[in-house]
Amino acid sequence: MIEKEQVEREAGDGHGDDARELARLQQRMASLDTPGVVDLLGRMSRDDRAVAFRLLPKDRAVEVFEDLDPALQGELISGLRADTTSELFRELDPDDRAPLLDELPAGVASRLLSGLSRTERDYTTALLGYPADSAGRRMSPEVAYVRTGTTAADALHRLRMIGDHVETIYTVPVLGPGRCVEGVVSLRRLMVSDPDTPVEDLMSEATTVRATDDRERAAQTVRDGGYVAVPVVDAENRLLGIFTVDDAMRVLEAEDDEDSARVGGAEPLRRPYLSVPIVRLVRARIVWLLVLIVAATLTVGVQSYFEAELDQVVALALFIPLLIGTGGNAGSQAATTVVRAMAVGDVRPKDLARVVGREITTGFLLGGALGIVGVLPAMAVAGRDVGLVLALTVVCVCTLATTVGAAIPMIAKRIGIDPAIVSAPFISTFVDTTGLILYFSIAKVVLGI
């Protein structure tokens, strides 16, 4: 058993020690049966009890909580809410924290969160075991629900009573035994129906989101279904809270901000543009510019390598900016299209082969069109041979650019990087280098230099 003083001292000592200490306590409890754990918790101080309880795996936590004396249940909740408890877990490395914290049981989580302000809730979520950016972090725990067996009239009466204290009364989860969500019924349906109808006959199948789901996915569910709100549940489909269309709109706006900034090669500002200090504008952009300028030094290397060819046919140099600009633009188009298609859920990483197939064809057709239309004038300026080199290179560069532009964001997503990060500027820079290599290689073959 850890004493409160010990917890505090160790918190001062370093987070690694905390983590080891907590893991030891977790192991010790794992060796006890449920009555043994209940007994152990009963002899602890309020804050220690909260810490120990939080280390139980979910199934065990449900049993222990139900066996606890109701007075101790209340004290446990207040212990979980205590700043010291929350802080202890917050200060652990996320890597240390993840194996310690299983999902909280639904009954405990909703009691823990309800009545807290949004800020207090944010502060408490370190305890919940829901990942950052998950629906569980964003949901409202103040949720109106009715139980199966209730009539429409009773349900309306209940909503009238609690209406001021819950997030919304327009979408109402219907719960069966053990807080399990069996369906949802809209307030509109309750109002227009015969008052004696049981809610089971009025409810429709519930579209729910898991508390551990990504908040963007939850928001898309709300948007695509046109819901006012969807219930948030745990792994056993027990009600934890509600995720409303307001939440969804705010999440989608934030995600769009992020995508938009990253597509442009900057970090999101997360604040209105005019209120951001200039230093922060610079910070949001400088890293990518540095990365890209370092990557661009490859183009210097490529040109040095082909210096002999350049010296022989100086006209080749004239078209370099045009060529790499076109490649960059074709790559940007493909990248933004695919990033957006993934953001709205039209394309998933497993569609990679299909997308690449489409983009190879698209790039080839675009390159062909540009080659014919744009390059004839070039022949007039620089002669037939250089014109031919240019036409061939445009076709190759466009095909390469659209393919790479579409594939890289998809591969990024698959390996867990935000696809928007590796978008337009990244791809332009990549295409600059490969485009130059193609250009000089084609020139060598066609011009025989």
Window 120 to 149, contacts with a second copy (CB under 8 A):
none
Select 77 or 323, whichever has its Cβ closest to a second copy: 323
- Alpha helices for 91-234 (secondary structure H): 94-100, 106-113, 118-124, 135-138, 152-162, 187-192, 199-202, 215-225
Among 35, 82, 33, residue whose Cα is nearest residue 54: 82
- Segment interacting with a second copy, rule: CB under 8 A, options 51-59, 69-77, 83-91, 279-287: 279-287
Alpha helices in 270-347 (DSSP H): 278-305, 307-312, 315-318, 320-343
Taking CB under 8 A as the criterion, the residue among 1, 132, 235, 286 binding a second copy is: 286
Q: How far is CA 69 from CA 39, 42, 66, 165, in A?
A: 11, 9, 8, 27
Q: Which of 72, 128, 159, 251 binds a second copy (CB under 8 A)?
A: 159
Is residue 71 a contact point for a second copy (CB under 8 A)?
A: no
- C-beta of residue 412 within 8 angstroms of C-beta of residue 422: yes
Q: How far is the CB of 231 from a second copy (least distance, A)?
A: 18
Select 119 or 275, whichever has its Cβ closest to a second copy. 275
Beta strand 181-186 pairing with 171-175:
antiparallel
CB 321 to a second copy: min, Å = 4
Is residue 163 involved in binding a second copy (CB under 8 A)? yes
Q: Considering only residues 315-354, where is the footprint of a second copy by CB under 8 A?
A: 317-322, 324-326, 328-330, 332-333, 335-341, 344, 346-347, 351, 354
CB of 85 to a second copy, least distance (A): 32
In a 13 Å sphere around the CA of 192, the CA atoms on its Cβ side amount to 5
Element (H, E) at 255: helix 245-263
Q: Which stretch binds a second copy (CB under 8 A): 6-14, 39-47, 304-312, 410-418?
A: 304-312
CB of 267 to a second copy, least distance (A): 10
H-helix or E-strand spanning residue 373:
helix 352-382
- What's the burial of 213, exposed, middle or buried (CB within 10 Å: 0-12/13-18/19+)? buried
Site string for a second copy, 230-269 (x = CB under 8 A): ---------------xx-xx--xx--xx-xxx-xxxx--x
CB of 306 vs a second copy, minimal distance in Å: 11
Instruction: Return the number of the residue (35 or 377) whose C-beta is nearest a second copy.
Output: 377
In sequence order, the 6+-apart residues with CB closer than 8 A to the CB of 275 are none
Binding residues for a second copy, total number by CB under 8 A? 101
The residue (of 132 and 296) whose beta carbon lies closer to a second copy is 296
* Closer of 56 and 263 to a second copy (Cβ): 263
| Angle at alpha carbon of residue 29, lines to 111 and 105, rounded to 5° | 25
Listed residue (42, 53, 48) closest to 1, CA to CA: 48
Footprint of a second copy on 356-395 (CB under 8 A): 358, 361-362, 365-366, 369-370, 373-374, 377-378, 381
The sign of the dihedral angle between the CA atoms of 92, 95, 99, 101 is positive
Q: Which is nearer to a second copy, 43 or 384 (CB)?
A: 384
- Contact (CB, 8 A) for 336 and 363: no
Q: Smallest gap, in angstroms, from Cβ of residue 445 to a second copy?
A: 22
Instruction: Please state, as a whole number, how many other Cβ atoms lie within 10 Å of the Cβ of residue 145.
Output: 22
What whole-number distance in Å separates Cα of residue 84 and Cα of residue 87? 5
**Segment 6 to 35, residues that bind a second copy, using CB under 8 A:** none
187 binds a second copy (CB under 8 A): yes
- Stretch 398-427 residues interacting with a second copy (CB under 8 A): 398, 424-425
Contact present, 371 and 283 (Cβ < 8 Å): no
Nearer to a second copy, 134 or 168 (CB): 168
Among residues 5, 12, 119, 164, the one that binds a second copy under rule CB under 8 A: 164
CB nearer to a second copy: give 124 or 336.
336
User: How far is the C-alpha of 433 from the C-alpha of 301, rounded, in Å?
Assistant: 9
With CB under 8 A as the contact rule, the residue among 19, 139, 230, 355 that binds a second copy is: 355
Q: Which one of residues 130, 243, 288, 440 is an interface residue with a second copy (CB under 8 A)? A: 288
Which contiguous run of DSSP H or E holds residue 257? helix 245-263
Q: Yes or no: say if 218 and 243 are a contact pair by the CB < 8 Å rule.
A: yes
**232 or 394: CB nearest a second copy:** 394
Write down the least CB distance from residue 177 to a second copy, Å.
28
